[in-house]
Structure 1
Amino acid sequence: MYPDVILLNGTGSSGKTSLAKQLQELIPVQYLNFSIDSILYTLPPSDLKRMMAGGAIERDGYDYHQLTDGYHHCVGALLKAGCRVIIDNAWVHQDELDALEDILSDFEVVRVKVQCRLDICIHRELSRGDRAIGLAEWEYPLVHNYMKYDVVVDTSDISPKEAAAFLLVELEKFNKSRSR
């Protein structure tokens, strides 16, 4: 049995979503790739554009922490429905991570530290065109402060497919250790 949740935590533009997509193709069981971006892309297009440009969303009722909380509850609902999920975000606040851990407490979770050199994250962020410039640099010293990891994947010098192949081997080791 593979875990219910594969949690990818890393700085913006570290390669989490690319890793998740490649892993979905390699892993022999069905996983949904459900990133925080799945929620952010439901924002009104003008607000999303403002956010990606690094501006503040000033629409009445906007609350990033509320969106994150909603994301976590969506993850919980998918799990309760029997889906396996790969989730990814840059969790930089202890309270948000604690709230997520409460939701995940009844499920098998493998926590993956997705690390990447800052210069590469910044380069990717600039090339993408859909990220607030400076986000990776802001998150970099914060993102790994509150989580204990089962696996570490460094995406600095390998392709997403290579990173996924490495992670798959680690997940298979996890499976074998659980079945003993």
Structure 2
Amino acid sequence: MDHLTTAPPRQGLIIFLNGTTSSGKSAIAAELLPILDEPYFHLPVDAFHALRSPVPVPPESLDLLLHRTWRGYHRAVAGMAAAGNHIVMDHVLSADWRLEDCLALFSPRDVVLVGVHCPLPELERRERLRGDRPPGLAARQLAQVHAHGVYDIECDTGTTDPAACARLIRDFLDDRPTPTAFERLRATAGAR
């Protein structure tokens, strides 16, 4: 019998980086992957958008297409974790349904929800430097992205560099508290 078919099942851990565009999530992920004790996959939502073919989308169909992309992304992350893979995902919870979808799909004990904060002036500066985002996008996302208000750990990329944020997250993994932020959020959602 193939030894892989008898490997003990496990749920992979999801390190869920949430913040506005240009907040530094991808930079943290790049610093985090090499310092973790086990292999992790970095699955940024931007990578899923980049996989889409360049066929023009009529403006009236764009919202539906984006909604389907986000839902597919959530299911891809959930599937990878359910197969036992550890994931670092970077996400923008700028709509209530995105968090609700993730709460329904992910094993709440196996999610480390990380709030990635950055002051607005710095976000705007980064957007200008990037040039690949609509001006003001981060400002429009700012209030909603952190509206749920519950995190396992938070970092501020305006005052802390990505490598230090990554070390903070790595060190947190050894002693994760219970209930997790996802467990608390799911309990709150179920109480409504």
Mark yes or no: TM-score above 0.5: yes
| Contact map agreement 1:3 1:110 (CA 8 A) in 2 | no
In structure 2, the CA distance between the partners of 1:91 and 1:174, relative to structure 1 (3 Å rule), is same
Shift of 1:146: 2.1
Aligned equivalent of 1:23, options 27, 32, 37:
32
Shift of 1:93: 1.5
Stretches of structure 1 lacking an aligned partner (at least 5 in a row): 48-56
Query: Runs (4+) of structure 1 moved beyond 6 Å?
Result: none
Shift of 1:134: 1.6
The TM-score, its normalising length taken from structure 1, stands at: 0.83
| Contact map agreement 2:12 2:84 (CA 8 A) in 1 | no
Aligned equivalent of 1:144, options 115, 136, 146:
146
Give secondary structure in 2 for the equivalent of 1:174.
Answer: coil
Q: Distance in 2 between matches of 1:40 and 1:154?
A: 26
| Contact map agreement 1:115 1:153 (CA 8 A) in 2 | yes
Stretches of structure 2 lacking an aligned partner (at least 5 in a row): 1-10, 181-192
Within-5 A mapping of 1:1-180: 4-45=13-54, 57-58=57-58, 62=62, 63-105=65-107, 108-146=110-148, 148-174=150-176
Larger RCO: 1 or 2 (CA < 8 Å, sep 6+)? 1
- Per-residue Cα deviation, 1:86-131 (whole angstroms, up to 9, x for no partner): 1111102122211111110365111001001011111111111222
* Equivalences, count: 169
Q: Distance in 2 between matches of 1:152 and 1:86?
A: 15
- The code of the aligned residue for 1:11 comes to T
Q: Distance in 2 between matches of 1:81 and 1:3?
A: 7
Give secondary structure in 2 for the equivalent of 1:110.
Answer: strand
The TM-score, its normalising length taken from structure 2, stands at: 0.79
Give secondary structure in 2 for the equivalent of 1:140.
Answer: helix
